[in-house]
Amino acid sequence: MPATPQLLSHRLRGFSAHESSLSALRAALAAGIPSFEVDTRVTADGEILVYHDAWLDTQTRQRGRVSAWSLRTDGRPLFRGAPREQVPTLRELLAVVRKADPIPEILLDIKDFGAEAEHADAIREAGLQEQCWIVSWLPEVLLRMHAVAPELRLSFSHLPLTRRTRGWQLAARASWGGRLPRLLGRLGRFVRRGYNLREVSVHLDACHAPRLPEKPVRGGFPVHLTRGLPRGPLGDVLRRSGGSVGVDPACLTRAYVARVRAAGLKLFVFRANSSRAVDRLRRLQVDRIFTDNAALFERVGA
């Protein structure tokens, strides 16, 4: 059995006007949060930005895809609204984290394939290998990351098909080419919570036998529906790294939790934003609980 599940700040929300910003990070560190998660995207000139969406339009004053933006020629994107603040790079964020006392646990959710070595280099330069987890919805990212940085722990985010999620399986089978432009609204609250439907693709059991692309893949948001836990190469690297699986709380059943434990993996859950939701997940004995609610860290304890 794990110890009491640890709360984890999802994108540093609630600590500043801008999620995943350096101002939010400094406020969270001042509040003593033990763990946080942020996302990364790669620009056209290979810079790693701490940013969730594939499009700049959603959170910044700029427009267009992150993958088409060049920091060298286009400049640094600015968050929309006050205060005036730049979207940070991964190295800038890690430079702030390494000075913290104590240093919190960091989960880096990599959204684009093809810059795994660059992520690993930034983490090693900051000396934060022990504090970092690599998270991704892309099996290919985790396989490549384990090859270039086997010392880093890995976490695969997916939607397991349990008795709570059988309808999603039917939707995935009905899709064309793995894309659900008209059916995504039926996937439940997970997809509706702030994701751009232009970017989402849905795949059934594709994670068990992933194919590594020959070229970088940038932009988009793949959702993997899986029957059972990840198998094959992905399951192997998760176990070898002492890794975890990350799931939406709507998918959780006691039977699924038992399968995760039997496989020797940790269980991360995204997200819980009320004391009642956190209490339910703690009764299920999960390991990490993502939250957007900064007040929960004081209300229910980290």
Q: What is the pLDDT of residues 27-56, one digit of tens each?
A: 999 999 999 999 999 999 999 999 999 999
Give Cα 284 distance to the centre of its chain. Answer: 21
Decide if 69 is inside a domain: yes
pTM: 0.90
HEC profile of 26-92 = HHHHHHCCCEEEEEEEECCCCCEEECCCCEHHHCECCCCEHHHCCHHHHCCCEECCCCCCECCEHHH
Does residue 209 sit within a domain?
no
CATH number, position 127: 3.20.20.190
* ∠ Cα 250 253 254 (to 5°): 150
Cα 149 to chain centroid distance, Å, stands at 18
The predicted structure's pLDDT at residue 173: 46
Domain membership flag for residue 181: no
Residue 192 located in a structural domain: no
User: For residue 210, is it within any domain?
Assistant: no
In a domain, 176, yes or no: no
Q: Encoding tokens for residue 174?
A: 């009905």
SS3 of 239, please?
Answer: helix
Does any domain span residue 126?
A: yes
For residue 55, give its domain range: 6-156+232-299
Per-residue pLDDT of the chain (302 residues; tens, 9 = 90+): 455 789 999 999 999 999 999 999 999 999 999 999 999 999 999 999 999 999 999 999 999 999 999 999 999 999 999 999 999 999 999 999 999 999 999 999 999 999 999 999 999 999 999 999 999 999 999 999 999 999 999 999 998 887 666 555 444 444 434 444 444 444 444 444 445 556 777 787 888 888 888 788 888 788 888 888 999 999 999 999 999 999 998 888 899 999 999 999 999 999 999 999 999 999 999 999 999 999 999 887 66
In a domain, 281, yes or no: yes
Number of domains in the chain: 1
- Looking up tokens 């609630």 gives 14
